[in-house]
Structure 1
């Protein structure tokens, strides 16, 4: 079995938490499949694309470069499925081969949690709040820069969240 060492998308390295590379055999063709557990940030950046230029470095030193189709898989963890047709199956004779009747099928989600992923790369999410505050606080807030307010609220909420979750 060959394992993935690193992956680049459009020339940019991405953090891969877990991966499986294999050949999927259908009645009429073979496809090279790469299942990746990545961060939510990576999903947001690449998940809606149709095709991407992918460079896969395998542990044995081999490099696979291909234009691959993208499927963002719904489920528990942020996951990308990249695939492309294989012309010469002999190039990939060391990869596992699966089909729809196989007893073994890659389960890339096993052994990792969303919390572990977020420790490495936490996504930011925009939020709008409607508050009623004393006018002097509103005036002060309006004078602040967005970046400073984001930092202030993030720290304040994190301290409260940490206190409530440590009970």
Structure 2
């Protein structure tokens, strides 16, 4: 029964995390391959892009603290879930966050990664391993740019703390 609960929790978390970068405007062009002549972002570019910023999702947020590369997030109103862990960058151009996610039904560990490439002033992103490439940040900035949801500051920890207190009995 515990395995079923854990599997059910993991599926809920994966579904919630699916909203992370995929609620962008439907008009946004998606590609199976990155643009020709694009190159991966460097580790420094990724740290500048995400460090001390919150990624505001449709139903939650994740904060990428530079201090000790802490990652804190929450998703879902009501029962919802929260995650705590670390974020890291790898070459070429990949950002990942590994977190333990907690919900009423239990906890589950999850690793989520995104690849990034640039061409000119545009940055393209895809969720690994099976996502599609799309324009993440364009210049001039487009109204559907996912990058607009990366806001300076911590917009996740307050709700994270409330959910953690709510689920403090989850082991």
Instruction: Give the TM-score band, short-chain normalised.
Output: under 0.3
TM-score (norm 1): 0.26
Tell me which structure has the larger Cα radius of gyration.
Answer: 1
Q: Which has the higher contact order (CA 8 A, sep 6+)?
A: 2
Structure ranking higher in helix proportion: 1
Structure ranking higher in strand proportion: 2
